[in-house]
Amino acid sequence: MQKLLAKQYNFQDPKIKKLVGYDSVNFKVETGSKKFILKVYPNEKNEVDFAEAENEVLLHLQQTKNNRFPFSVKNLNNEFLTYFESKNPLKFARLLTFLEGEFLGDVEHTLELFESFGEFLAEMDLSLKGFQSYTIAARQNKWDLQCFLRNEEYISCISNPAERKIVECFFLQYKQNVLPLLPSLRKQIIHGDANDWNILTQNGTISGIIDFGDVCFSQLINELAIAITYAIMGKNDPVEWAIPIISAYHKIFPLEEKEIDSLFWLIAARLCTSVCNSAYEKIENPDNEYTQISEKPAWDLLKKWVTINPVKARNEFRKAAGYAIPIEKTVEEKTAERFQSVSPIFSISYKLPIYMESAAFQYMFDKYGASYLDAYNNIPHVGHSHPKVVDAGQKQMAKLNTNTRYIYDSLNEYSANLLKKFPAPLNKVFFVNSGSAATDLALRMARNFTQKNIVAVVEHGYHGNTQSVIEISHYKFAGKGGAGVSGNTICLPIPDTYRGEFKCENAGTSYVQKAIDQMRPFEGEIAAFIAEPIVGCAGQIPLAKGYLKEIYAEIRTQGGLCISDEVQTGFGRLGDYFWGYEAQEVVPDMVILGKPMGNGHPMGAVVCTNEIAEAFNNGMEFFSSFGGNPVSCTIGQAVLDVIKEEQLQQNAKAVGDYYLHQLRKLQQKYESIGDVRGSGLFIGFEFVKNRQTLEPDTDLARKVKNELRNQQVLVSTDGPFDNVIKSKPPLCFTKGNVDEVVEKLEGVLPE
């Protein structure tokens, strides 16, 4: 290096220091009072072409404010590129002037500095407008956001599935929100890597930019997206910090509305590019620490970005540029519009209903920009819009969707894999499209198998909305508008150890005794007994210990079948168990599945023994148009895969235990919390006016629900007195999420 610099540049005895970098090899060179950067490249045709093109860009920029950009220094032969023999292979070098200043990454960030950043970039991009280079235009670089999808192959390098899914989510969103826009966005040559280690500051303003190695012919907005991505890392309110950059840029180089509207997704895309490459480099070049320089802040921002309502970011970015924010109809207008065609029998949650727009994992986003923490919805079991589930559904829908009258792989595979989750006797599955349809079918099958008619149910239970199922749902037939108990139903007392008649250790036995007494007049006529292991609509009441074991034995003695409704409690939600019945050490004859099975895609199923299935095969075909179709089976399989990959049952256990613990701590402080109960992420807590009399405090429960909603946390109320708060969030819920719920809950509880 010494010899090269002496021979080619006439530098005598310069100081040379190697600098860190992504893949280029750079040296800082000092000779006398002058400083330079020497860049060394392999002597390959594309590298030479690109170095020449980069020089042209720098020469072009020198025509404007040349102190802001490095410029190329010619060697003694009057050439920009210096070829030399290093140990072999042949290499070449470029010498650039050194820019003074502190890195943006090293100085305190202020609003003024960020405005200066926006102005700086806008002026640079204006200078580059119209500049042409076919070499640069032909380049395809994975760091160029128009080539973002090239990074998809690195997703698998991210080892933590809970992190990987966020990246997958933003890849999907890029395809949906950015890809279709790309052809209509303005393109020009841009720097393409205005990260905080390439930006120099002096006296509180941006003074220079270095490293044109990512210069590209790309969408103009990508310049800003990349710059903002790094500038807002580590900020409490990253959207807020983007504003001065956007508004200052826009004043000098006006942005188009569609460019602004794509910013949120482009910033996410840059973050994903960064973490994907960090993950890849960690495997490929574990010794290069520079490749990990942004990893931690990028992940932190990505995890925050996924909680931000994209509408909020869009609106803030639009405001920064002075563009109008799209006016949405009010919630009242939308509600009135809905009632023109949809009956109010479909109730709407909360005093102030929510006009929803989108969702991601445990976060939901309304039309106006608010983000909600979803502590309530159990249907999106593995998280709202989980990319694995969405992708599986989209791909299969585009390939084949038919019905069970044909042979296809997904039915065979999914049904076999689903049945692996059950003990051996439960070895047949019937697919339908809802929990109600599953319960209805289970009743038919039980009546067919036993040739009996009566169904024993538990108080406050709910099993679905069809005629036959309403008849076995005490929650409905005994509730408002209900027709009362039918002749085919026996309603047994709920084995509730909080409010019920028996509260002692062996309360289960006492409840079974009561049940037996009640069933006595119908001996020999009972087709089935059905219950949830934790009765959701009763207010998350766990069946008393030992209850199922004894009642199952009794029902079977009488010739009936035992059905476990796992629509709410199944698929690992309870933490300790994959199915709720396991908690009571029983094996049912039939199991009903629904809600979480398809993560929101309509799926339901009956799982039963071979004998029951055989008896049902009596000559009459069973056909469900949609049940078990290829799209549903593919989605169901994706849900099973995600539960396993992200260890969601274990997460339900860990986070659920923590949740219960935190709620019980609150219960010690607040007399109004009478009971905290549940298992895993299937939790209820009950408000009472008096802990001795257990007088329910319905008003308080409703107030808490509505106030939490106003603070953007979603829970619901239920139970016969509507005084129980139910929380059954997507299983990706975190301890941090629990802290948010509990903190806000404490904030709304009266002293």
The verdict on 499 binding ligand PMP (CB under 6 A) reads no
| Binding of ligand PMP by 581 (CB under 6 A) | no
Closer to ligand PMP at the Cβ: 560 or 594? Answer: 594
Residue ranges in 617-686 assigned as alpha helix (H): 630-645, 648-669
How far is 676 from 683, CA to CA, in rounded Å? 8
Q: How far is the CB of 435 from ligand PMP (least distance, A)?
A: 2
Identify the three-state secondary structure at position 345.
coil
Asked if 439 touches ligand PMP (CB under 6 A), the answer is: yes
Query: Other CB atoms closer than 10 Å to residue 595's CB: what's the count?
Result: 25
Q: Where do the H-state alpha helices sit in 381-451?
A: 387-397, 409-419, 435-450
- Least separation in angstroms between residue 507's CB and ligand PMP is 22
Rank residues 210 and 567 by Cβ distance to ligand PMP and give the closer one. Answer: 567
Least Å distance, CB 624 to ligand PMP, is 13
Rounded CA-CA distance 152/633 in Å is 25
Position among 26, 173, 309, 436 found at the interface with ligand PMP (CB under 6 A): 436
Size of the site for ligand PMP (CB under 6 A): 16
> Which residues face 492 on adjacent strands?
458
Q: Which is nearer to ligand PMP, 382 or 593 (CB)?
A: 593
**Of 177, 218, 291, 434, the one binding ligand PMP by CB under 6 A:** 434
CA quadruple 196, 199, 202, 204: dihedral sign: negative
CB of 425 to ligand PMP, least distance (A): 22
Taking contact as CB under 6 A, which single stretch among the options 280-288, 428-436, 483-491, 543-551 is the one that binds ligand PMP?
A: 428-436
- Return d(Cα 428, Cα 104) in angstroms, integer: 63
With binding defined as CB under 6 A, does residue 435 bind ligand PMP?
yes
Looking only at residues 637 through 666 of this chain, which bind ligand PMP when binding is defined by CB under 6 A? none
Question: What is the closest distance, in whole angstroms, from the C-beta atom of residue 680 to ligand PMP in the complex?
Answer: 16
Sign of CA dihedral 332, 335, 341, 346: negative
Q: Give the nearest distance from C-beta 602 to ligand PMP in angstroms.
A: 7
Nearest CA to 471 out of 489, 447, 494 is that of 489
Instruction: Decide: helix, strand or coil at residue 265.
Output: helix
Structure tokens at 382: 């593995």
Q: Among the candidate windows 190-198, 208-216, 320-328, 461-469, which touches ligand PMP by CB under 6 A?
A: 461-469
Would you say 211 or 566 has its CB closer to ligand PMP?
A: 566
Residue closer to ligand PMP by CB (options 101, 393) is 393
Residue 719 is a binding residue for ligand PMP (CB under 6 A) = no
Q: Applying CB under 6 A, which part among 290-298, 433-441, 711-719, 726-734 lies near ligand PMP?
A: 433-441
Taking CB atoms, the residue at the shortest distance from ligand PMP is 435
CB of 315 to ligand PMP, least distance (A): 35
Phi, psi of 26 (to 5 degrees): -125, 145
Close Cβ partners of 556 (under 8 Å, ≥ 6 residues apart): 562
Alpha carbon distances (Å) from 503 to 265, 511, 515? 55, 10, 16
Nearest to 576, CA basis, from 666, 652, 472: 652
Q: Considering the complex, state which of residue 461 and residue 674 has its C-beta at the smaller distance from ligand PMP.
A: 461
Distance CA 437, CA 606 (A): 9
**Residues contacting 539, CB < 8 A, separation 6+:** 460, 684, 686, 718, 719, 720, 721, 723, 724, 726
Task: Pick between residue 38 and residue 538 the one whose CB is nearest to ligand PMP.
Answer: 538
Looking only at residues 541 through 580 of this chain, which bind ligand PMP when binding is defined by CB under 6 A?
A: 565, 567-568
CB of 679 to ligand PMP, least distance (A): 15
Contact mark string toward ligand PMP, 588..617, x via CB under 6 A: ------xx--------x-------------
Q: Which residues contribute to the site for ligand PMP (CB under 6 A)? A: 434-436, 439, 462-465, 532, 536, 565, 567-568, 594-595, 604
